[in-house]
Amino acid sequence: MENYTEFNAKTIDGWNEEGWEWGTVITHDTYVKAKKGDWSIVLTPQTPVPKDFFAPFLDDSGHFYPGTKILGLASAGGQQMPVLTAAGADCTVLDLSDSQLEREKRVAQRENYEISVIKADMTQPLPFEAESFDVIVYPVSNCYIENVQPVWQEAYRVLKKGGILLSGLDNGFNYLFNSYKEKMTVENILPYNPLKNPAQMALAIKENDGVQFSHTFGEQIGGQLQAGFVLTAAFEDFFDADSKKFHGFPEFWATKAVK
């Protein structure tokens, strides 16, 4: 596959036509509550990000200090950025999916605010000057790219000194299995990489999963450290209640890293 990232973007566009959860825009009421400081976002499927993860850019009322610049990295879909904009941040969102970006524009038009919406591939150098942002919000999405280190390097470059990177990470456990049932059987050996495994690619296309990749602790956590970040907070999360019940092993991490 010559350009798997474009393939993934089109796959996500198809998911959105079917009502994908992560492409469902926030309601007007959610936006209004966020303007009052009553809000939350997720980096991983279930657990809201603690407000103190946004320190030192968030005041006690739940509003960002004037001039706080946030980049939603591969996080379009009309969910996180509208909330953070309502809470007072100056937001930019970057994504490769046309339908995800359209949702950002839709909410901005509905609520009458401005946001910079940029279509770009996160595997390439980010189209921003060095030290452009105070916060990067990077929900679970690097499972759609083969090599994560360039993203950590670019995130470090475009953050201001003292800026924070908030990341949602798939820890790879998901990719051991092809189905989640009460009795689960390991069917894949990690790393999971359909570009190097024809059987995995065939199944991914059959199941309309896009081209996804598992990543190691060293790539995800070690990669942030290698880029120069200092990790200051983290938590684990489950995909849903059933995954917690049937296997009891969290499939996701969320991290706060400081430049």
**How is the chain split into domains, by residue range?**
4-258
Cα–Cα distance for residue pair 29/20, rounded to 1 Å = 21
Q: How many CA atoms lie within 13 A of 250 on its CB side?
A: 13
How much is the pLDDT for 245? 78
Q: If you search the block for the tokens 């879909």, which residue do you land on?
A: 77
Q: How far is CA 10 from CA 75, 147, 151, in A?
A: 15, 20, 21
Average pLDDT over residues 149-176: 97
Average pLDDT over residues 133-148: 98
- 105 has a pLDDT exceeding 90: yes
How much is the pLDDT for 182? 66
Q: How much is the pTM?
A: 0.96
- 4-258: in CATH 3.40.50.150: yes
Q: If you search the block for the tokens 């009891």, which residue do you land on?
A: 248
Q: What is the mean pLDDT of the chain?
A: 95
Tell me if 211 sits within 8 A of 7, measured CB to CB. yes
- 135 has a pLDDT exceeding 70: yes
- 149 has a pLDDT exceeding 80: yes
Cα–Cα distance for residue pair 30/250, rounded to 1 Å = 28
- What pairing do the DSSP bridges indicate for beta strands 133-138 and 69-73? parallel
In three-state secondary structure terms, 93 is strand
Which pair of structure tokens corresponds to residue 22? 């992560």
Apex CA 73: angle with CA 72 and CA 77, to 5°?
65
How much is the pLDDT for 109? 98
Element (H, E) at 9: helix 4-17
What are the tens digits of pLDDT across the range 109-119?
A: 999 999 999 99
How much is the pLDDT for 181? 66
Average pLDDT over residues 90-96: 98
- What does 35-68 look like in DSSP terms, one character per residue? HTT----BSSSSPBPPGGGGTTSB-TTS-BPTT-
Q: Where does the pLDDT of residue 248 fall: very low under 50, low under 70, confident under 90, or very high at 90 and above?
A: confident
What are the tens digits of pLDDT across the range 13-67?
A: 999 999 999 999 999 999 999 999 999 999 999 999 999 999 999 999 999 999 9
